[in-house]
Chain A
Amino acid sequence: MAILEVKGLKKSFGAHEVLKGIDFELERGEVLAIIGSSGSGKTTLLRCLNFLETADEGSISVNGEVLFDGSKESKKNTSDIRKKRLHFGLVFQQFNLFPHYNAITNIKLAAELLGKEKSRRECAAIDADSKRERAETIARHKTEMTALKAENLQKEEFNVKKRELKAAHKAELVLLADKTDARKAAAKERFLGDINKRAQALLDRVGLGDRAKAYPCELSGGQQQRIAIARALALSPDILCFDEPTSALDPELTGEVLKVIKGLKSGDSTMIVVTHEMEFARGVADKVIFMADGVIEEMGTPYQIFEAPKSEKTKAFLQKSREQALGEISEGV
């Protein structure tokens, strides 16, 4: 089954229809490259997938679960949207790192907040559990005590037995409290334990293992974008989206970022990459979409799109981007 299924997605800003019905599917582990001229709606499509914009019509399903359905009255429940967003990650053209946090905090912050929320909820459940258990235990202790009294023992014997029983009860309650504490500690460990290690592993993965404490202003654009990629990966999204991840970078820095993205491909990440880097799209993508004026003009394998395009618009676009690339090279000379 397709991991992502987009059907008939439409989006207008006022009278301007930006997406005019987008349909595509993506399999797990596939890399989709989206190309197209400026204003064709590529960014808008990614923003709709990430619920930064709400589409007007159509549907979005991930793993068969319908996240968005334009035909249904959608209740704008923010905590619902938050949960849906976690299926997707987004890497922005302008990185948008949090300037006041260092690299590793940028990466782990969201995971930490989420983990704390989950562990708080779990601990509350454990507390409720243990409170009920405690009440039951105390009630049982009372009946045991009543039973003891009903035995009508000699005073001496009664006192001894009573003391024994009380001690046993007390021990039982202490044990119960210890068990609760242990369960809570385990919950905390489960939700928060390996966050630091994971963040460090992600840093290593984008080749910045030694810059954990660096602030964004101390990093080059390429390094910032690699941190942004690690940050997007930290919540293990089903689908990672990139919106022209190298467009804001100096040409000599694009390589390192593209290399990181290429590296993710082997790691079985499902990705959607909006890009102007045709060579990259051709080399990495399993599937290429060419968008023009809010529709998918052509979709196919890199070979179909780049070597044997059918649509005139695709041909013209590729021709133009080739000329531009040549222009840049000759300018460089």
Chain B
Amino acid sequence: MTLLEGFGTTVLLFAATLVVSLPLGLIVCFGSMSKVPPIRWIARVFVWIIRGTPLMLQVMVVFYVPGLVFDYPMRSRFIAVFIAFVINYACYFSEIYRGGIESVPRGQYEAAQVLGMTKTQVFFRIILPQVVKRILSPMSNEVITLVKDTSLARVIAVEEIIFAAQGIINSYALIWPLFYSGAFYLIFVGVLTLIFRAAEKKLSYYKV
């Protein structure tokens, strides 16, 4: 039963992180590509810090720093993990977006501009669809990493699946929960792989 709850927590953390960090990543990406130097530098330094330090450390910082430094303790362990994950993944996604956007040839922008399209139209009609196709495979790597990173939540005692499994092992001296959680990860990643493959196939009607 606790294993099932751990499973639920893991899936929830995964889904919630994805839903928030995907759009947030786009905003960070716009920041790091901004024409205004201060914004660009702040965004890039931020991304550098987040990508340059372990996620485990970030989880602990988000959980402990508000309480210890600002005397405003985190109410929920889950929320702390969630915030750390969102920030971390938004930064990774932003770099993937940036790579995708920069890989669209200048000629695409120019052709659209010459046809009198507005900036918004150029981005949403011309650039973004091509970016989606270009970033699908780095995206799938990152999303699969996220599945496995959810196990880091245990460092602040959020009861994700491995934490739950270990609890069972400790109290009942049973080994099978570890295999079950392993199988859970494999199935989860397997499903995601299939989804990404289907998306790739769906977008294979054109070449960029």
Pair A98/B108 contact, Cβ less than 8 Å: yes
Task: Write the residues of chain A forming the contact surface with B, with a CB cutoff of 8 angstroms.
Answer: 50, 52, 78-79, 82-83, 85-86, 88-90, 92, 94, 96-100, 109-110, 113-114, 215-217, 231-232, 235
The prevalent SS among residues of B at the interface is helix
Q: Which residues of B contact A113 (CB under 8 A)?
A: 117, 121, 125
Q: Which 6 A-B pairs have the closest CB atoms?
A: A110-B115, A96-B111, A96-B107, A217-B207, A90-B114, A215-B206
Pair B113/A85 contact, Cβ less than 8 Å: yes
Q: How far is the CA of A148 from the CA of B114 in the complex (A)?
A: 63
Shortest Cβ distance from residue B206 to the other chain A in the assembled complex, whole angstroms = 5
- Pick from A88, A96, A97, A110: contact of B117, CB under 8 Å: A110
Shortest Cβ distance from residue B134 to the other chain A in the assembled complex, whole angstroms = 11
Q: Which residues of B contact A216 (CB under 8 A)?
A: 206
Task: Write the residues of chain B forming the contact surface with A, with a CB cutoff of 8 angstroms.
Answer: 105, 107-108, 110-119, 121, 125-126, 129-130, 133, 205-208
Smallest Cβ-Cβ distance to A117: which chain B residue: B118
Pair B108/A235 contact, Cβ less than 8 Å: no
Q: How far is the CA of A88 from the CA of B206 in the complex (A)?
A: 29
- Contact A99-B130, Cβ < 8 Å, known A52-B110, A92-B110: yes
Q: Which residues of A contact B105 (CB under 8 A)?
A: 96
Q: How far is the CA of A107 from the CA of B172 in the complex (A)?
A: 69
Pair A100/B133 contact, Cβ less than 8 Å: yes
Q: Which residues of A contact B117 (CB under 8 A)?
A: 82, 110, 113
Smallest Cβ-Cβ distance to A85: which chain B residue: B116
- Pick from B108, B125, B206, B207: contact of A109, CB under 8 Å: B125
Q: Which residues of B contact A50 (CB under 8 A)?
A: 114
Pair A85/B206 contact, Cβ less than 8 Å: no
Q: Which residues of B contact A94 (CB under 8 A)?
A: 107
- Contact A89-B208, Cβ < 8 Å, known A96-B108, A98-B126: no
List, sorted by A's number, 27 A–B pairs whose CB atoms are closer than 8 Å: A52-B110, A52-B113, A79-B118, A82-B116, A86-B116, A89-B114, A90-B110, A92-B111, A96-B105, A97-B111, A98-B108, A98-B126, A99-B130, A99-B207, A99-B208, A100-B129, A100-B133, A100-B206, A100-B208, A110-B115, A110-B116, A113-B117, A215-B205, A215-B206, A216-B206, A217-B207, A231-B115
